[in-house]
């Protein structure tokens, strides 16, 4: 029988490693599964200048520190590509493509989202050496230099405008006819009005060339097929992102773009399954926000486990009838009810649930008003009283 963990984290980028550190530090038995080298996207970049408080570490060094920090507190890291997740029930099962099964009470999905690639010659070779997928990350390296932006949607034009704060010239490579872009009109107008931005229409990148660093792109006119050398110091590619969610598309709810939907605690549509980092629907995708997501999901997972274990042990697996009193310290009536119950001669076990701290249990049993009292036999609700009177309390016990 396979070992049962408290938390399994799928993905070893900044979000997953941060979650591992926080979960392990909370004394949760934690396993992190990664398909290859731990570190995520930052592992492929040269510099990291926008992580608060870190002034002299490269991107690979920073995520290596993340890894060491997680392992220092006890996170177990194994190689494995997850094929499917069975998240029904309290104990969940993660199965890898190699057929290995792991079990855990909570799962954190941190598989990230890859920038959509052009898949042209030279792109992989010059990644981090002039080829970039993040203006916010790398614009500083192109001060007073000339760069190209590939793409014409909102992200591409927003990033092109941002790059004009640093670069001397920004040329946008657009696949459409002159004057036609996918970006919203307001972004188009801003781009046209910016003296630093120029456009090359009806074109795609055929290949990227350089000597150690990018020094030109070879552009292809999609109408004529002509190839043209275009000299530049950097190429920023913004043609969309692809979240790594194929293996959970039948498990959790996704957006139309394939990102995982979450609530305020970063829990997915499946109880006990959380999502952190670029794989989830979010506004800003950066290492610092991924790390924050990791901390949030680990803390929320710990709360989920504690709440579920308490409920199972004290209610569902109880050998006697159970009275569950839903109360809140801000509601006098509910406090009066719990006080009365505590002073009664009960022939059942009394369990008190603070609705603020245990919203999950409250929602599960559709407790919308307090005080509410449930009576359970063999784990099943047999009676439910909302704002019960003293007579009703005496009758139910």
CA gap 397, 394 in Å, rounded: 5
Which one of 6, 88, 137, 347 is the catalytic residue? Answer: 137
Question: Is 138 among the residues known to form the active site?
Answer: yes
Pick the CATH number of 4-115+241-311 from 3.30.930.10, 3.40.190.10, 3.50.50.60, 3.40.50.12780: 3.50.50.60
Active-site option among 29, 37, 119, 138: 138
**Mean pLDDT (10-residue bins), the chain, 397 residues:** 89 97 98 91 71 85 94 97 95 96 98 91 96 89 97 92 96 97 94 98 97 97 97 95 93 95 96 97 90 98 95 94 95 94 92 90 93 95 94 86
pLDDT at 293: 98
| CA–CA separation, 233 and 129 (whole Å) | 10
What are the residue ranges spanned by the domains of the chain? 4-115+241-311, 131-237, 318-396
Nearest C-alpha neighbor of 93 from the set 31, 156, 166: 31
CATH architecture of 318-396: 3-Layer(aba) Sandwich (3.40)
pTM, two decimal places? 0.78
Residues 64, 243: Cα–Cα separation, whole Å: 23
pLDDT score, position 328: 95
Q: 232 an active-site residue?
A: no
Per-residue 3-state assignment (H helix, E strand, C coil) for the chain = CCCEEEEEEECCCHHHHHHHHHHHHCCCCEEEEECCCCCCHHHHCCCCCCCCCCCCCCHHHHHHHHHHHHHHCCCEEEECCEEEEECCCCCEEEEECCCCEEEEEEEEECCCEEECCCCCECCCCCECCCEECCHHHHHHHHCCCEEEEECCCHHHHHHHHHHCCCCCEEEEECCCCCCCCCCCHHHHHHHHHCCCEEEECCEEEEEEEEECEEEEEEEEECCCCCEEEEECCEEEECCCEEECCHHHCCCCCECCCCCECCCCCCECCCCCEEECHHHECCCCCCHHHHHHHHHHHHHHHHHHHHHHHHHHHHHHCCCCCEEEEEECCCCHHHHHHHHHHHCCCCCCEEEEEECCCCHHHHHHCCCCCCCEEEEEECCEEEEEEECCCHHHHHHHC
pLDDT value at position 54?
87
Alpha-carbon Rg for the chain in angstroms = 27
- Report residue 372 as tokens: 């509410």
Q: Which of 29, 37, 88, 134 is catalytic?
A: 134
pLDDT score for 59: 81
Fold match flag (4-115+241-311 vs 131-237) = yes
- Domain 131-237, CATH class in plain words: alpha beta
């Amino acid at each position: 029988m396979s070992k049962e963990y408290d938390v399994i984290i799928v993905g070893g980028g900044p979000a997953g490693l941060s979650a591992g550190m926080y979960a392990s530090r909370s004394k949760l038995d934690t396993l992190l599964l990664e398909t290859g080298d731990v570190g995520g996207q930052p592992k492929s970049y040269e510099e990291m200048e926008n992580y608060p408080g870190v002034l002299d570490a490269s991107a690979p060094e920073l995520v290596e520190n993340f890894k060491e920090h997680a392992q220092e507190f006890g996170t177990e890291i194994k190689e494995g590509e997850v094929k499917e997740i069975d998240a029904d029930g309290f104990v969940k099962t993660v199965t890898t493509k190699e057929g290995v099964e792991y079990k855990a009470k909570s799962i954190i999905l941190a598989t990230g989202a890859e920038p959509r690639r052009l898949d042209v010659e030279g792109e992989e070779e010059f990644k981090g050496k002039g080829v970039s997928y993040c203006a916010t990350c790398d614009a500083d390296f192109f001060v007073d230099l000339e760069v190209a932006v590939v793409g014409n949607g909102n992200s591409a034009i927003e990033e092109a405008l941002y790059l004009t704060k640093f670069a001397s010239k920004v040329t946008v490579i657009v696949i459409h006819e002159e004057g036609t872009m996918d970006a919203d009109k307001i972004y188009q107008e801003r781009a046209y009005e910016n003296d630093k931005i120029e456009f090359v229409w009806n074109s795609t990148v055929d290949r990227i060339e350089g000597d150690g660093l990018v020094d030109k792109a070879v552009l292809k006119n999609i109408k004529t097929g002509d190839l043209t050398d275009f000299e530049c110091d950097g190429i920023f590619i913004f043609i969309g992102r692809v979240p790594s969610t194929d293996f959970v598309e039948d498990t959790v709810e996704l957006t139309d773009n394939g990102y995982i939907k979450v609530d305020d605690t970063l829990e997915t549509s499946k109880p006990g399954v959380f999502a952190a980092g670029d794989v989830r629907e979010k506004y800003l995708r950066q290492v610092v926000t991924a790390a924050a997501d990791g901390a949030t999901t680990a803390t929320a997972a710990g709360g989920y486990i504690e709440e579920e274990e308490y409920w199972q042990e004290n209610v569902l697996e109880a050998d006697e009838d159970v009275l569950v009193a839903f109360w809140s310290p801000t509601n006098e009536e509910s406090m009066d009810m719990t006080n009365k119950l505590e002073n009664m001669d009960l022939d059942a076990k009394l369990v008190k649930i603070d609705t603020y701290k245990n919203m999950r249990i409250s929602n599960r049993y559709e407790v919308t008003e307090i005080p509410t009292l449930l009576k359970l036999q063999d784990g099943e609700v047999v009676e439910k009283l909302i704002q019960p009177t003293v007579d009703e309390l005496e009758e139910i016990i």
